[in-house]
């Protein structure tokens, strides 16, 4: 080994020994609690037992409920920390959403009468101050044994909501089933009510957890937490108590400095000689005289050789230091400085928008935390048989928190414009109708942004459409209808008649028009059919002459011939035959039924004529009359639902027309046989 190697080894030996003593595998190092997972330096002591940083350790400065009560009463910052978040969370409230707006408003009114929101706000403050709380609903009709689970179906009426502190509720039994969703949570509580004055008159009772709306507090473990009441959690002041204390001391020190901000300084010639010559009493008397004259005369009287001055205490950087303490406290409280201190944003072009957005996010998160508690209380109100829903909980309901900021008039106008554009698109795509939009937005006391659709009403409309389709399908399968087998011995639909004339093709029956948009199903009214049956004036379109004429739906064969169905007749934009107003639709439905009856009568007469004069001509006329009856019958089906005068009354007229048409066809079949 060279000389340099030996010297290097000798110099490195102490460091190697220290390194081994401080290594991760060294038992003495672990026993002394040295750090073995970071950087270390044996010369400076960094990471070793000489490291000053390792002398510190974490402590929990517990604030029990009694201390929290005193801080709530006597410290303005603690008061703001406890109250601000619950107040802002419930300030704008929430909306109860159901299928029917009237039910939503009734439930909200019942909750307001019971002051349920105030109970939630108070319980939230208790939880933040005392580490937990509970709302105890006073229920009539489902009381029974309070230690047993609540039967919500037996609730008659909710009388009130009491807010209890955690000191009033002591857990007695716990859920011990590992497979239970409530495993590890208290099952029953022993209630020891607190009174503001006098002796306690209410006996101690045991209450099941299902009868309480629990606000559990801050729990970090299932184990009992030191300083917290059994079964409850920590309050918000425990985690920030040290920072809050430092902030108070900083402001107290600043106040003490202000008292000594300016000190009076007096320079007396020969003061040291006076003290040496045992003349201290003389010096003291002289000073007292100067201060007395200063107080009486508001002036300082001194000798020409004496001096009086004031000397200020340096306060440089104190304001910045206090601002840093405020920032640290705001971080511990989870609130913006502007909100915690009640101050305006400082700085050039400072608007405080970022603080507002951050605080609104915190409030929204806290509202999500409160949602299950609020829904619990609302559900009990809906379950009461004497409540707004008569004990029937709505199938679909929820709560929706209102926006935290009130919109301006410009914001409201822009929002309604966007909603109107969305409504226009959805109406064109037949998602909902204009009536749905109008009734949803403007049907209540105030404008509503939501669309409410009556699904039961839509199901009824869909069923009416399906029934009409089924009736049309049955009509299409009747003998003589398009696509159905022809009557034996007669010409089928569309077949060439003798003499080269082609039979008239009957179009398939169309789906009856059904009114959408929340209204009732609109069918042919009975008024139009009755008017036609009694000989009232019913306008009809003559396909040949294109003129209007008064006719009797059941009088002459010529009228029945003019009532033949014309496939080229113009239709309106909904694919229905004819047009006009709603009353015209009723007359159209009645006219269609009259056409079917007249066509049936004409078919019977033609069949009778064919029986008396059996010839190819009379046979062809009977067959043509038969087809005319079928065409008129299909026309009556197509006119179904066109009128707006009644609800399904046209179905009776349709059935009557069908029966008469079938009777005519049976007469033709008898003659042919």
Model confidence at 421, pLDDT cuts 50, 70, 90, reads very high
Residues in the chain: 673
- Tell me how crowded residue 111 is: count the other CB atoms within 10 A of its CB: 24
Q: Residues 370-386: what's their mean pLDDT?
A: 95
Most confident of 114-118, 463-467, 516-520, 609-613: 114-118
Which is higher by pLDDT, 160 or 444? 160
Buried b (16+ CB within 10 A) or exposed e, 524-535: bbbbbbebbbee
Model confidence at 236, pLDDT cuts 50, 70, 90, reads very high
Report the alpha-carbon distance of residue 558 to residue 390 in Å, rounded. 63
Model confidence at 605, pLDDT cuts 50, 70, 90, reads low
370 CB burial (10 A radius; 0-12, 13-18, 19+)? buried
For the chain, the straight-line distance linking the first and the last C-alpha, in angstroms and rounded, comes to 137
Most confident of 274-278, 350-354, 519-523: 350-354
Most confident of 3-12, 77-86, 258-267: 77-86
Percent of the chain residues past pLDDT 90, beyond the cut:
34
The pLDDT of residue 424 is 93
Angle, alpha carbons 522-526-529 (nearest 5°): 120
The pLDDT of residue 329 is 94
Q: Reduced to 3 states, what is the DSSP secondary structure of residue 234?
A: strand
Report the alpha-carbon distance of residue 124 to residue 87 in Å, rounded. 9
What confidence tens digit (pLDDT) does each residue in 30-66 have?
444 554 556 777 787 777 777 777 777 788 889 999 9
What confidence tens digit (pLDDT) does each residue in 610-662 have?
444 444 444 445 455 555 555 554 455 455 444 433 444 444 444 454 455 55
What confidence tens digit (pLDDT) does each residue in 91-113 have?
999 999 998 888 999 999 999 99
Is the model's pLDDT at 68 over the cut of 60?
Answer: yes
Residue 159 phi/psi, 5-degree rounding, is -95, -40
The pLDDT of residue 348 is 57
The lowest-confidence range among 475-479, 581-585, 602-606 is 581-585
Report the alpha-carbon distance of residue 390 to residue 107 in Å, rounded. 11
Smallest Cα–Cα separation from 626: which of 669, 573, 575? 669
The lowest-confidence range among 9-18, 234-243, 354-363, 397-406 is 9-18
Which is higher by pLDDT, 451 or 485? 451
Residues 6+ apart with CB under 8 A from 379: 152, 393
Percent of the chain residues past pLDDT 70, beyond the cut:
63
| Residues 332, 244 contacting (CB under 8 angstroms) | yes
The lowest-confidence range among 208-212, 241-245, 446-450, 544-548 is 544-548
The pLDDT of residue 646 is 41
The lowest-confidence range among 434-448, 529-543, 588-602 is 529-543
| Residues 607, 671 contacting (CB under 8 angstroms) | yes
């Amino acid at each position: 080994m060279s000389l340099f190697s030996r010297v290097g080894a000798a110099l490195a030996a102490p460091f190697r020994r220290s390194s081994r003593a401080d290594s991760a595998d060294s038992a003495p190092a672990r026993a002394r609690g040295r750090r073995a997972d970071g950087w270390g330096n044996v010369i400076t002591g960094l990471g070793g037992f000489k490291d000053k940083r390792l002398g510190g350790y974490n402590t929990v400065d517990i604030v029990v409920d009694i201390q929290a009560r005193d801080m709530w009463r006597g410290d303005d910052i603690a008061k703001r920390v406890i109250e601000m978040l619950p107040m802002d969370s419930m300030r704008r409230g929430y909306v109860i959403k159901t299928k029917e707006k009237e039910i939503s408003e009734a439930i909200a009114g019942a909750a307001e009468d019971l002051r349920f929101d105030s109970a939630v706000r108070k319980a939230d403050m208790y939880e933040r101050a005392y580490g937990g709380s509970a709302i105890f609903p006073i229920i009539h009709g489902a009381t029974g044994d309070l230690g047993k689970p609540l039967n919500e179906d037996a609730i008659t009426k909710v009388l009130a909501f009491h807010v209890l502190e955690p000191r009033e509720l002591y857990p007695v039994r716990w859920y011990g089933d590992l497979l239970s969703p409530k495993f590890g949570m208290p099952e029953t509580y022993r209630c020891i009510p607190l009174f503001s004055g006098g002796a306690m008159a209410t006996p101690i009772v045991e209450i099941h957890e299902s009868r309480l709306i629990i606000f559990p507090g801050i729990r970090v473990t299932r184990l009992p937490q030191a300083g917290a009441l059994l079964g409850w959690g920590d309050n918000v002041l425990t985690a920030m108590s040290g920072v809050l204390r430092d902030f108070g001391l900083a402001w107290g020190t600043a106040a003490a400095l202000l008292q000594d901000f300016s000190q009076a300084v007096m320079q007396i010639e020969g003061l040291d000689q006076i003290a040496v010559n045992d003349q201290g009493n003389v010096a003291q008397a002289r000073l007292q005289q100067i201060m007395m004259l200063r107080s009486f005369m508001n002036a300082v009287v001194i000798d020409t050789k004496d001096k009086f001055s004031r000397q200020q205490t340096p306060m440089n950087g104190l304001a910045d230091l206090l601002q840093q303490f405020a920032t640290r406290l705001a971080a511990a409280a989870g609130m913006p400085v502007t909100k915690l201190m009640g101050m305006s944003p400082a700085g050039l072009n400072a608007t405080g928008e970022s603080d507002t957005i951050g605080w609104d996010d915190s409030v929204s998160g806290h509202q999500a935390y409160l949602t299950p508690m609020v829904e619990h209380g609302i559900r009990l109100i809906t379950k009461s048989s004497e409540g707004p829903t008569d004990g029937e909980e709505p199938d679909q309901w929820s709560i929706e928190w209102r926006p935290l900021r009130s919109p301006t008039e410009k914001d409201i106008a822009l929002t309604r414009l966007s909603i109107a554009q969305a409504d226009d698109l959805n109406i064109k795509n037949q998602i909902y109708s204009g009536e749905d939009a109008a009734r949803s937005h403007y049907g209540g006391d105030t404008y509503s942004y939501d669309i409410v659709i009556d699904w039961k009403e839509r199901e009824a409309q869909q069923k009416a459409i399906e029934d009409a389709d089924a009736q049309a399908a049955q009509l299409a399968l009747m003998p003589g209808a398009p696509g159905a087998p022809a009557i034996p011995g007669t010409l089928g639909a569309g077949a060439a008649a003798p003499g080269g004339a082609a039979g008239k093709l009957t179009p398939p029956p169309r789906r009856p028009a059904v009114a959408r948009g929340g209204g009732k199903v609109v069918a042919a009214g009975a008024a139009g059919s009755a008017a036609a049956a009694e000989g009232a004036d019913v306008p009809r379109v003559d396909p040949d002459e294109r003129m209007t004429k008064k006719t009797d739906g059941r009088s002459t064969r010529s009228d029945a011939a003019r009532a033949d169905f014309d496939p080229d007749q113009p239709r309106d934009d909904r694919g229905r035959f004819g047009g006009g107003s709603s009353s015209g639709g009723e007359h159209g439905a009645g006219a269609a039924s009259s056409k079917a009856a007249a066509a049936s009568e004409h078919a019977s007469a033609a069949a009778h004529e064919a029986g008396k004069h059996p010839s190819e001509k009379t046979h062809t006329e009977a067959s043509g009359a038969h087809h005319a009856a079928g065409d008129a019958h299909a026309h009556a089906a197509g006119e179904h639902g066109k009128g707006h005068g009644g609800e399904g009354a046209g179905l009776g007229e349709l059935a009557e027309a069908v029966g008469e048409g079938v009777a005519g066809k049976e007469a033709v079949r008898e003659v042919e046989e």
